[in-house]
Amino acid sequence: MNVKKFIALTLTCAISTQAFAHSRWVLPTHFNLSAENGEWIMVDITASNETFNVDKAMGADFVKIIMPDGKTSRPSSTYKGHRKSVADYFLKESGTYKITNNSNAAYMTTYEIDGDRKRLWANKTELSGKLPDQAKEIQTTYRYSRIESYVTMNTPSNNFNTDGKLLELVPVTHPSDIAENEKVMFKFLFNGKAQKNVSVEITADGVRYRNDPQTIKLRSNAKGEITFTPQNAGRYLLIAEHQENTPKSTLADKQMGSVFLTFEAQLN
Protein backbone atom coordinates (compact mmCIF):
# COMPACT_ATOMS: atom_id res chain seq x y z
CA MET A 1 0.00 0.00 0.00
CA ASN A 2 1.44 3.36 -0.91
CA VAL A 3 1.33 6.32 1.46
CA LYS A 4 -1.48 8.11 -0.36
CA LYS A 5 -3.73 5.08 -0.19
CA PHE A 6 -2.87 4.58 3.43
CA ILE A 7 -3.78 8.16 4.30
CA ALA A 8 -7.01 7.88 2.33
CA LEU A 9 -7.94 4.73 4.23
CA THR A 10 -7.07 6.31 7.58
CA LEU A 11 -9.23 9.30 6.73
CA THR A 12 -12.15 7.08 5.75
CA CYS A 13 -11.88 5.28 9.08
CA ALA A 14 -11.64 8.57 10.96
CA ILE A 15 -14.75 9.88 9.22
CA SER A 16 -16.78 6.76 9.91
CA THR A 17 -15.83 6.74 13.58
CA GLN A 18 -16.93 10.31 13.93
CA ALA A 19 -20.12 9.78 12.01
CA PHE A 20 -21.12 6.78 14.09
CA ALA A 21 -21.13 8.94 17.20
CA HIS A 22 -24.85 9.11 17.88
CA SER A 23 -27.25 6.18 17.98
CA ARG A 24 -30.99 6.19 17.83
CA TRP A 25 -33.18 3.16 17.88
CA VAL A 26 -36.65 1.74 18.27
CA LEU A 27 -37.08 -1.35 20.39
CA PRO A 28 -40.34 -3.30 20.13
CA THR A 29 -41.45 -5.56 22.97
CA HIS A 30 -41.75 -8.45 20.49
CA PHE A 31 -40.32 -9.27 17.09
CA ASN A 32 -42.30 -12.45 16.52
CA LEU A 33 -45.84 -13.12 17.66
CA SER A 34 -48.42 -15.86 17.36
CA ALA A 35 -52.02 -14.84 17.85
CA GLU A 36 -55.53 -15.69 16.75
CA ASN A 37 -57.11 -12.29 17.24
CA GLY A 38 -54.26 -9.80 17.04
CA GLU A 39 -51.78 -8.68 19.65
CA TRP A 40 -50.47 -5.50 21.28
CA ILE A 41 -46.87 -4.39 21.13
CA MET A 42 -45.11 -1.42 22.70
CA VAL A 43 -42.08 0.28 21.23
CA ASP A 44 -39.34 2.18 23.05
CA ILE A 45 -37.96 5.20 21.21
CA THR A 46 -34.72 6.78 22.34
CA ALA A 47 -31.43 8.37 21.33
CA SER A 48 -28.82 6.35 23.14
CA ASN A 49 -25.35 5.11 22.44
CA GLU A 50 -25.88 2.24 24.83
CA THR A 51 -27.45 -0.80 23.20
CA PHE A 52 -30.27 -1.29 24.47
CA ASN A 53 -30.38 1.03 27.47
CA VAL A 54 -32.45 4.14 26.93
CA ASP A 55 -30.89 7.58 27.32
CA LYS A 56 -32.65 10.60 25.77
CA ALA A 57 -36.27 10.63 24.70
CA MET A 58 -36.87 11.21 21.05
CA GLY A 59 -40.38 12.26 20.27
CA ALA A 60 -42.68 9.60 18.90
CA ASP A 61 -44.31 12.07 16.51
CA PHE A 62 -42.59 10.58 13.49
CA VAL A 63 -43.35 6.97 14.35
CA LYS A 64 -45.05 5.24 11.47
CA ILE A 65 -46.03 1.64 11.10
CA ILE A 66 -46.11 0.15 7.63
CA MET A 67 -48.68 -2.60 7.75
CA PRO A 68 -48.43 -5.91 5.84
CA ASP A 69 -50.73 -4.50 3.14
CA GLY A 70 -48.29 -1.61 2.59
CA LYS A 71 -50.53 1.06 4.13
CA THR A 72 -49.12 3.36 6.77
CA SER A 73 -50.60 3.60 10.23
CA ARG A 74 -49.76 5.38 13.48
CA PRO A 75 -49.44 4.29 17.11
CA SER A 76 -52.71 4.26 19.03
CA SER A 77 -51.04 6.27 21.79
CA THR A 78 -47.62 7.56 22.76
CA TYR A 79 -45.93 8.87 25.87
CA LYS A 80 -42.80 10.96 26.08
CA GLY A 81 -40.65 10.62 29.17
CA HIS A 82 -37.20 12.00 29.93
CA ARG A 83 -35.29 8.93 28.85
CA LYS A 84 -37.54 7.48 26.20
CA SER A 85 -40.82 7.72 24.41
CA VAL A 86 -43.11 4.74 24.12
CA ALA A 87 -45.67 3.91 21.49
CA ASP A 88 -48.55 1.49 21.79
CA TYR A 89 -49.75 -0.42 18.75
CA PHE A 90 -52.22 -3.21 18.00
CA LEU A 91 -51.31 -5.71 15.28
CA LYS A 92 -54.54 -6.87 13.74
CA GLU A 93 -53.63 -8.74 10.57
CA SER A 94 -51.06 -11.50 10.16
CA GLY A 95 -47.86 -10.51 8.43
CA THR A 96 -44.76 -8.41 8.82
CA TYR A 97 -44.99 -4.84 10.13
CA LYS A 98 -42.24 -2.28 9.68
CA ILE A 99 -41.91 0.15 12.58
CA THR A 100 -40.11 3.36 11.63
CA ASN A 101 -39.12 6.55 13.39
CA ASN A 102 -37.30 8.11 10.44
CA SER A 103 -36.01 11.64 10.70
CA ASN A 104 -37.08 14.28 8.22
CA ALA A 105 -34.53 14.64 5.46
CA ALA A 106 -32.65 17.87 6.17
CA TYR A 107 -29.68 20.01 5.21
CA MET A 108 -27.15 20.51 7.94
CA THR A 109 -24.27 22.92 7.65
CA THR A 110 -21.33 22.54 9.98
CA TYR A 111 -18.57 25.09 10.47
CA GLU A 112 -15.74 25.98 12.78
CA ILE A 113 -15.44 29.23 14.69
CA ASP A 114 -12.74 29.96 17.25
CA GLY A 115 -11.91 26.27 17.29
CA ASP A 116 -15.52 25.26 18.08
CA ARG A 117 -17.56 23.04 15.79
CA LYS A 118 -21.06 24.44 15.22
CA ARG A 119 -24.02 23.39 13.17
CA LEU A 120 -26.89 25.06 11.48
CA TRP A 121 -29.97 23.61 9.76
CA ALA A 122 -29.67 25.28 6.37
CA ASN A 123 -28.67 24.40 2.84
CA LYS A 124 -25.95 26.24 0.90
CA THR A 125 -28.36 28.77 -0.61
CA GLU A 126 -29.76 29.69 2.80
CA LEU A 127 -26.43 30.42 4.47
CA SER A 128 -25.98 34.11 3.76
CA GLY A 129 -26.78 36.13 6.85
CA LYS A 130 -26.84 33.03 9.05
CA LEU A 131 -23.15 32.15 8.93
CA PRO A 132 -20.66 34.20 10.98
CA ASP A 133 -18.02 35.94 8.84
CA GLN A 134 -15.18 34.09 10.53
CA ALA A 135 -16.71 30.66 9.93
CA LYS A 136 -14.26 28.15 8.51
CA GLU A 137 -14.45 24.54 7.31
CA ILE A 138 -17.99 25.07 6.09
CA GLN A 139 -19.68 21.95 4.86
CA THR A 140 -23.32 21.26 4.04
CA THR A 141 -24.72 17.74 4.16
CA TYR A 142 -28.08 16.47 3.04
CA ARG A 143 -28.99 13.86 5.65
CA TYR A 144 -31.62 11.26 6.15
CA SER A 145 -31.79 8.59 8.86
CA ARG A 146 -33.99 5.55 8.94
CA ILE A 147 -34.71 4.15 12.36
CA GLU A 148 -36.53 0.90 11.94
CA SER A 149 -37.49 -2.56 13.06
CA TYR A 150 -39.68 -5.42 11.83
CA VAL A 151 -42.34 -7.26 13.81
CA THR A 152 -44.01 -10.36 12.44
CA MET A 153 -47.30 -11.82 13.58
CA ASN A 154 -48.00 -15.34 12.33
CA THR A 155 -47.12 -15.75 8.64
CA PRO A 156 -44.32 -13.39 7.55
CA SER A 157 -44.68 -11.13 4.52
CA ASN A 158 -42.05 -9.28 2.52
CA ASN A 159 -42.87 -5.78 3.67
CA PHE A 160 -39.67 -4.44 2.14
CA ASN A 161 -40.77 -1.65 -0.19
CA THR A 162 -38.11 0.96 -0.89
CA ASP A 163 -38.46 4.63 -1.78
CA GLY A 164 -35.03 5.28 -3.29
CA LYS A 165 -34.03 8.00 -0.84
CA LEU A 166 -30.38 7.85 0.26
CA LEU A 167 -29.47 4.73 2.25
CA GLU A 168 -31.91 1.82 2.59
CA LEU A 169 -31.60 -1.66 4.04
CA VAL A 170 -33.43 -4.49 2.30
CA PRO A 171 -33.60 -7.76 4.23
CA VAL A 172 -32.54 -10.77 2.15
CA THR A 173 -32.86 -13.03 5.17
CA HIS A 174 -36.35 -12.29 6.49
CA PRO A 175 -36.07 -10.62 9.92
CA SER A 176 -38.41 -13.24 11.40
CA ASP A 177 -36.02 -16.01 10.25
CA ILE A 178 -32.90 -14.66 11.96
CA ALA A 179 -31.51 -17.19 14.44
CA GLU A 180 -28.30 -17.71 16.37
CA ASN A 181 -25.52 -19.46 14.43
CA GLU A 182 -27.29 -19.03 11.11
CA LYS A 183 -26.06 -16.81 8.32
CA VAL A 184 -27.91 -13.54 7.78
CA MET A 185 -27.83 -11.47 4.59
CA PHE A 186 -28.96 -7.87 4.15
CA LYS A 187 -28.63 -5.64 1.12
CA PHE A 188 -28.02 -1.88 0.94
CA LEU A 189 -29.28 0.59 -1.63
CA PHE A 190 -28.16 4.17 -2.03
CA ASN A 191 -30.55 6.35 -4.00
CA GLY A 192 -32.21 3.16 -5.16
CA LYS A 193 -29.10 1.34 -6.41
CA ALA A 194 -27.06 -1.45 -4.80
CA GLN A 195 -24.29 0.26 -2.85
CA LYS A 196 -20.88 -1.20 -2.12
CA ASN A 197 -18.65 -0.23 0.78
CA VAL A 198 -21.45 0.84 3.15
CA SER A 199 -20.05 0.94 6.72
CA VAL A 200 -21.95 -1.34 9.03
CA GLU A 201 -21.66 -1.96 12.75
CA ILE A 202 -23.67 -4.60 14.56
CA THR A 203 -23.82 -4.74 18.34
CA ALA A 204 -25.62 -7.20 20.59
CA ASP A 205 -27.78 -6.16 23.53
CA GLY A 206 -26.22 -5.74 26.97
CA VAL A 207 -23.13 -3.61 26.34
CA ARG A 208 -23.46 -2.22 29.87
CA TYR A 209 -22.59 -5.63 31.28
CA ARG A 210 -19.47 -6.47 29.29
CA ASN A 211 -16.14 -4.73 28.86
CA ASP A 212 -15.77 -5.38 25.16
CA PRO A 213 -18.80 -4.20 23.14
CA GLN A 214 -17.96 -6.96 20.62
CA THR A 215 -19.24 -4.87 17.74
CA ILE A 216 -19.07 -6.59 14.37
CA LYS A 217 -17.75 -4.18 11.71
CA LEU A 218 -18.48 -4.85 8.08
CA ARG A 219 -18.56 -3.26 4.62
CA SER A 220 -21.07 -4.14 1.94
CA ASN A 221 -19.75 -5.95 -1.13
CA ALA A 222 -20.14 -4.97 -4.80
CA LYS A 223 -23.76 -6.17 -4.78
CA GLY A 224 -24.48 -4.05 -1.70
CA GLU A 225 -24.71 -7.14 0.49
CA ILE A 226 -23.42 -7.98 3.93
CA THR A 227 -23.44 -11.39 5.55
CA PHE A 228 -22.82 -12.20 9.18
CA THR A 229 -23.71 -14.87 11.71
CA PRO A 230 -25.10 -13.83 15.10
CA GLN A 231 -23.27 -15.92 17.70
CA ASN A 232 -25.97 -15.64 20.35
CA ALA A 233 -29.71 -15.35 20.52
CA GLY A 234 -30.78 -11.88 21.54
CA ARG A 235 -31.45 -8.39 20.29
CA TYR A 236 -29.05 -6.57 17.99
CA LEU A 237 -28.64 -3.02 16.73
CA LEU A 238 -27.29 -2.56 13.23
CA ILE A 239 -26.00 0.88 12.27
CA ALA A 240 -25.16 1.53 8.65
CA GLU A 241 -23.93 4.68 7.03
CA HIS A 242 -22.92 5.88 3.63
CA GLN A 243 -22.03 9.29 2.24
CA GLU A 244 -21.07 10.70 -1.11
CA ASN A 245 -19.86 14.08 -2.30
CA THR A 246 -22.37 15.96 -4.42
CA PRO A 247 -20.25 18.45 -6.41
CA LYS A 248 -23.10 19.16 -8.83
CA SER A 249 -25.57 20.13 -6.12
CA THR A 250 -26.12 23.81 -5.37
CA LEU A 251 -27.66 22.87 -2.02
CA ALA A 252 -25.16 20.53 -0.37
CA ASP A 253 -21.53 19.41 -0.56
CA LYS A 254 -22.41 15.84 0.27
CA GLN A 255 -25.29 13.51 1.00
CA MET A 256 -25.38 11.02 3.85
CA GLY A 257 -27.80 8.27 4.69
CA SER A 258 -27.94 6.14 7.79
CA VAL A 259 -29.96 3.16 8.92
CA PHE A 260 -30.54 2.00 12.49
CA LEU A 261 -32.13 -1.42 12.41
CA THR A 262 -33.13 -3.32 15.53
CA PHE A 263 -33.56 -7.06 15.08
CA GLU A 264 -33.71 -10.26 17.07
CA ALA A 265 -31.72 -13.46 16.62
CA GLN A 266 -33.85 -16.29 17.94
CA LEU A 267 -32.85 -19.36 19.87
CA ASN A 268 -32.06 -22.22 17.57
Closest CB 155 distance from another protein, rounded Å: 6
Closest CB 32 distance from another protein, rounded Å: 5
Nearest to 183 by CA among 140, 138, 134, 218: 218
- On whether the CB atoms of residues 139 and 18 are closer than 8 A, the answer is no
Rounded CA separation 27/154 (Å): 19
Please identify which residue in 172, 179, 194, 251 interacts with another protein, judged by CB under 8 A: 179
Paired sense of beta strands 95-100 and 216-219, if any:
unpaired
Q: Does residue number 176 form part of the binding site for another protein (CB under 8 A)? A: yes
Rounded CA separation 25/48 (Å): 8
Residue closer to another protein, measured from CB, 76 or 155: 155
Q: Does residue number 125 form part of the binding site for another protein (CB under 8 A)? A: no
Q: Does residue number 93 form part of the binding site for another protein (CB under 8 A)? A: no
- On whether the CB atoms of residues 149 and 28 are closer than 8 A, the answer is yes
Please identify which residue in 39, 50, 126, 225 interacts with another protein, judged by CB under 8 A: 39
Total length of the chain: 268
Here's the x/- map for another protein, 136-155, by CB under 8 A: it reads as ----------------x-xx
Q: Does residue number 246 form part of the binding site for another protein (CB under 8 A)? A: no
- Counting residues that bind another protein (by CB under 8 A) gives 17
Rounded CA separation 239/207 (Å): 15
Which residues contact another protein by CB under 8 A?
30, 32-36, 39, 152, 154-156, 176-177, 179, 266-268
